[in-house]
Amino acid sequence: MSKIELRLTDIDPPASELIRTIYRDIVNLPSTVKLGLTIRYFNHDDVGLYFQITGSGTGYTFDTVNLGLLASGANAYRNLDEFASRTKPSVGDLPNGEMEENVTLTLKAYTDSGYTNLKWTYERVVTVHWINSADAAFTVDVLNNFDDGTVQDWAVADEAGNSIATLSVVTDYVLSSPYSIRMNQAQVIGSNRQCRARLYKSFTTPNKPKVFVIFDIRNGGTGTYVDMKNLKISRDDTLLVYIGKPYDATHVDYFPKDKWMRIVVPLPANVTIELRVIAEMNIYAATGYTWLDDFKIISK
């Protein structure tokens, strides 16, 4: 076993973690696109180490992030928001609506807080799979843009801690006018409280070789404190995407707030499933929000 390790899932060593792929859709993205991801890193050495991560890839610019001290035998999550950037691929770069490229994530471990005495290096190749959901090769099987003023059969459920979990059609933040939907997690008790709710809907997927779901999601809040802890996308009880860190009561955001995020995930064909967006927050006398707009399922 390597003395340090980098993973992109919640699968614990020594169980194998399959090669990871990040899916992205170019439609309506800006000319320079940002890449963010949540990593999980491990210290298998017998001493504490100072970790650092960077990356490389053709056409990409990566940050170098100092992750701090990690004790022997410990592991930690870190969301790397806007960790890398590149020029958006052109439509011509995606023949038949798809293209793949590889980037390399490089985890380093140092014995000193100045990050000068390098002890271990661990590299992980990740595939970035681009799609163009507007390409004629794809069929748009589901489009929920909520522009009819309804929630289009989406629903919410309270999972932990909320005094109120509700769903609204709103106009405050939208991607396609005039409406989006917003899941509200309200907590009025005068102390920090773990609040977790899910936004969900059932679908039957197309019977085609390739099926993708595209979520455009925004998170925020109003009130004293709304701290973003983690965001999960799941298919029934199967976790597909995890962004952030496990819950704690600190006033620190672990996944992006006040910005739209696009999450693209492949789905199995010809099955009935429940798709879930699960947002976990630390809330103090406030309301946390999760918006959804221009949700799509496409296939070819």
Under 8 Å CB-to-CB from 16, ≥6 apart: which residues? none
Q: How confident is the model at residue 17 (pLDDT cuts 50, 70, 90)?
A: confident
Q: How many CB atoms are located within 10 Å of the residue 105 CB?
A: 23
- Asked if pLDDT for residue 162 goes beyond 70, the answer is no
- Range 4-131: architecture per CATH: Sandwich (2.60)
27-57 pLDDT, tens digit per residue, is 999 999 999 999 999 999 999 999 999 999 9
pLDDT at residue 122, as a whole number? 97
- Asked if pLDDT for residue 1 goes beyond 70, the answer is no
pLDDT at residue 187, as a whole number? 73
Helix (H) or strand (E) holding 112: none
* DSSP-derived 3-state class of residue 175: coil
| Domains of the chain, residue spans | 4-131, 139-299
Q: If you search the block for the tokens 């009935």, which residue do you land on? A: 272
Domain covering 139-299 in this structure, CATH number? 2.60.120.260
Q: How confident is the model at residue 189 (pLDDT cuts 50, 70, 90)?
A: low
Which of 97, 101, 90, 103 minimizes the C-alpha distance to 29? 90
pTM of this structure: 0.94
91-149 pLDDT, tens digit per residue, is 999 999 999 999 999 999 999 999 999 999 999 999 999 999 999 999 999 999 999 99
Query: What is the arithmetic mean of pLDDT over 6-30?
Result: 91
Which of 264, 266, 285, 234 minimizes the C-alpha distance to 10? 234
* DSSP-derived 3-state class of residue 95: helix
Percent of the chain with pLDDT over 90: 88
Q: How confident is the model at residue 10 (pLDDT cuts 50, 70, 90)?
A: confident
